[in-house]
């Protein structure tokens, strides 16, 4: 059976009220989770940015973009971990088209 590996892009926003150490810890947590289950191509930390609309009365968040390759079943687990992690405001994962 052929092992399916897809390319994904995930953007997540960390609560801007977290300290610098807490923010770094959250970024490292998700980088290690992704690298343990796939292969990271790039991590781009956009830093603090204004949100398009307030989330939980916050107007700023710390943005992180990760491009990686992984098995399709890993995405559900990644989204579950995002959902239960304190300090993650929003996240989205999209599958990139192979050209």
Q: What CATH number does residue 72 fall under?
A: 3.30.70.60
Q: Domain range for residue 70? A: 6-95
**Residue 57: inside a domain:** yes
**Residue 1: inside a domain:** no
Q: Tell me, yes or no, if the pTM score tops 0.85.
A: yes
**Residue 89: inside a domain:** yes
pLDDT digits (tens, 9 = 90+) for 1-19: 778 899 999 999 999 999 9
**Residue 51: inside a domain:** yes
How many C-beta atoms lie closer than 10 Å to residue 38's C-beta? 20
**Residue 33: inside a domain:** yes
CB 68 within 8 A of CB 34: yes
pLDDT digits (tens, 9 = 90+) for 42-58: 999 999 999 999 999 99
pLDDT of amino acid 90: 96
pLDDT of amino acid 4: 86
Question: What's the structural domain count of the chain?
Answer: 1
**Residue 16: inside a domain:** yes
């Amino acid at each position: 059976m052929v092992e399916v590996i897809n390319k994904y892009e995930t953007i997540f926003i960390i609560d801007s009220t977290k300290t610098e150490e807490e923010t770094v810890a959250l970024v490292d947590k998700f980088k290690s989770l992704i690298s343990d289950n796939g292969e990271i191509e790039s991590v781009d930390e956009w830093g603090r940015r204004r949100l398009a609309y307030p989330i939980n009365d916050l107007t700023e968040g710390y943005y992180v973009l990760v491009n990686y390759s992984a098995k399709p079943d890993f995405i559900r687990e990644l989204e579950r971990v995002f959902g239960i992690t304190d300090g993650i405001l929003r996240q989205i994962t999209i599958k990139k088209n192979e050209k």
